[in-house]
Every structure is written in structure tokens, then in C-alpha cells.
Chain A
Amino acid sequence: MNKKIALLLLLGSTFAPVVQAQIKHIEMRVEGMT
């Protein structure tokens, strides 16, 4: 049981930063717009 909890914590700490990672904003300058 303890092993399962430890494994879950390990996986959580490994993947958590990527889950929070995200493109927050994109800005473009365009030409030819009417």
C-alpha cells in the first residue's frame, strides 16, 4: 500500500510541472488586413 502511495507521489511530482505549463498568450502582427 505504502509503495503505491509513494509511486503516486513520485509520478505526481514528475508530471505536475508539465500539467501547469501552457501557452499563455499569443500576439501576431499581420499584413494585408482590410
Chain B
Amino acid sequence: MKQHLGRQSGVQSVEVSLIDGKVEITPKEDEQIDPTQLLKATYDSGVTAAEMDMTARGKVVKDESGNLALQIAPNRSFALVPNELSKGLESLADPATLITIRGQLYKKPPGKKQKVDTAIPLKLMILEVEKKE
């Protein structure tokens, strides 16, 4: 699995802890990685992703429906799951403010081994707002 993930575009390093089943992925500086592809690569390597957390820096934007999203590239953004922390970000929805967020992108539904549906866009549930710039 480590080699499989390490071959994905933009991945700098992969650290695997067999004891607690944790996998830490560090992206290359100034390159973008695709969390959906990482989930798919994990499944393809024969293990099941139970959870995926992400720390990302980006700007808060509103989509066509007025929902908040974290934009991390001109063509890539993650819709924010509404919660108390996301409500606090509404006032920061402007192009000048960068924020760093830690949040949950994926949690496996209860049940048996299940393939990640890559057709469904991942949504980011904010766990912590680390920095506002």
C-alpha cells in the first residue's frame, strides 16, 4: 500500500503505522494531490480506508447554491459540511483571506469492506480552524 500511494501524483512521502492502522501522506511542496485518487489507490492496494482527515490551506468561497467551500486550486474546491465551525467562516468568504483547516473528508459507512465511490465529491467537515491569514 505504501508503494501504491507513493506512486500517486504529488505525493512526497507516505508513513504507515501497522500498530494503529494510521497512514500519513505528505504532498510535495507546490503540487496538488487528489484525495479521491488516494482513497481509490488505498482500496486498490487491498485495504479499506475507514477515515480520511486533511489539513489544507485555501480560501473560503461560496458556490452557485450559496454553500461554503474551501478552494485550494483554481479548479479544485471541497464543499464544507455545515457545522458550528463552518458558520464562523461565512464572514471570511473573500478572496483575500487564506485559512488553514483540519477536517474530515471521508468516513466509511458502517458495514463490510466497501469500495469508495469516486463519483461522489468529497465534502469537508471542519474539525479545527488552525490559522487565518
Q: Which residues does A use to contact B, with CB under 8 Å? A: 14-15, 17-18, 20-33
Contact = CB atoms under 8 A, between A and B. Distances in A.
Interface string B16-39: 101011111111001111010010
A21 B30 CA distance: 9
B25 A18 contact: no
A22 B56 CA distance: 6
A28 to B, nearest CB: 4
A23 B49 CA distance: 19
Contacts of B95: 14, 17
A21 B98 CA distance: 7
B71 interface: yes
B48 A31 contact: yes
Nearest to B108: A31
